């Protein structure tokens, strides 16, 4: 099942996918553009993986890591499908990152690989924007790289784990203004989903609503105000987002 959270007529609604848009819990069907899309899950803790695809590490002139490179993100970064992400003025390179997002259902603590999938509620699409100008070092992006307001669109759907036969064999693509710029597969992750759950749960409890962003393959290009970015994962959904000028920082700079 594909589930979503949307705002309509001043209220937040749970919704499901319909052939012509979304179906609210009351049965009413609305077009996609009649609702405001919210992230399909309200994240508790957001874990983000750095350099979890060898081709992406090579693209950035780094070696693939031998241990997961994990950092945390705040909920302020998360926005929904068809939202807008500000690009700060005077930055040289801001890029998208199409990522499979894993949503934890049953809490996990000291969970073995073989049991990892039991703890997953479902999957969604993430676009974890990064601003390379602000990168401090390869293993720990600072707050200005990854922690910005609206920097992580999530959605549109939360797809039940039972409906995804093999999450480690899904095609990922990104299109900027309709042009294909990124293509890869989750099978190329350096550290797969069961390993990540085992690794993280070994020293901390993964709770219901936690989200793991599993990294992005190569194929990154600079995006600018006015660009429409569509990140899509096979069987999960197509997440659309638009880049706008960061008026707050423009004002501060002036």
Using an 8 Å Cβ cutoff, are 201 and 109 in contact?
Answer: yes
pLDDT, position 254: 47
Whether the per-residue pLDDT at 124 is higher than 60: the answer is: yes
Cα–Cα nearest to 212, from 181, 231, 191, 185 = 191
Average pLDDT on 132-153 reads 75
Q: Is the distance from CB of 69 to CB of 216 less than 8 angstroms?
A: no
pLDDT band, very low/low/confident/very high, at 135 (cuts 50, 70, 90): confident
Rounded Cα–Cα distance for residues 227 and 176 (Å)? 7
Q: How would residue 133 be classed by pLDDT, with cut points 50, 70 and 90?
A: confident
Q: Give 118's DSSP letter.
A: G
Please give the average per-residue pLDDT across 11-37, as a whole number. Answer: 94
How far is residue 155's CA from residue 101's CA, in Å, rounded to a whole number? 9
Name which of 96, 102, 251 is nearest 168 in CA terms. 102
pLDDT over threshold 50, residue 189: yes
- Which tokens in the block code for residue 69? 């490179």
Q: Whose CA is closest to 199, among 65, 43, 69, 57?
A: 69
Domains annotated for the chain, with CATH where assigned, are 1-38 (2.30.30.370), 39-253 (3.90.850.10)
């Amino acid at each position: 099942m594909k589930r979503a959270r949307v705002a309509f007529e001043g209220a937040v609604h749970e919704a499901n996918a319909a052939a012509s848009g979304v179906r609210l819990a009351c049965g009413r069907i609305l077009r996609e553009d009649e609702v405001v899309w919210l992230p399909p899950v309200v994240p508790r803790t957001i874990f983000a993986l750095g350099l979890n695809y060898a081709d992406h590490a090579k693209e950035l002139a780094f070696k693939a890591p031998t241990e997961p490179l994990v950092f945390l993100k705040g909920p302020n970064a998360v926005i929904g499908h068809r939202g807008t992400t500000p690009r700060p003025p005077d930055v040289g390179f801001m890029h998208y990152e199409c990522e499979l997002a894993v949503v934890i259902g049953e809490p996990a603590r000291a969970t073995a690989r073989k049991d990892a999938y039991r703890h997953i509620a479902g999957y969604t699409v993430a676009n974890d924007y990064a601003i390379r100008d602000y990168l401090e070092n390869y293993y720990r992006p600072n707050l200005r790289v990854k922690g910005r307001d609206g920097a992580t669109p999530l959605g549109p759907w939360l797809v039940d784990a039972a409906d995804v036969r093999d999450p480690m064999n899904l095609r990922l693509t990104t299109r900027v203004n309709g042009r294909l710029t990124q293509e890869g597969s989750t099978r190329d992750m350096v550290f797969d989903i069961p390993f990540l759950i085992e690794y993280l749960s070994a020293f901390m409890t993964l709770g219901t609503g936690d989200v793991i962003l599993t990294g992005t393959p190569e194929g990154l290009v600079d995006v600018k105000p006015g660009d429409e970015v569509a990140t899509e994962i096979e069987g999960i959904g197509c997440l659309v987002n638009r880049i706008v000028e960061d008026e707050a920082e423009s004002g501060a700079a002036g």
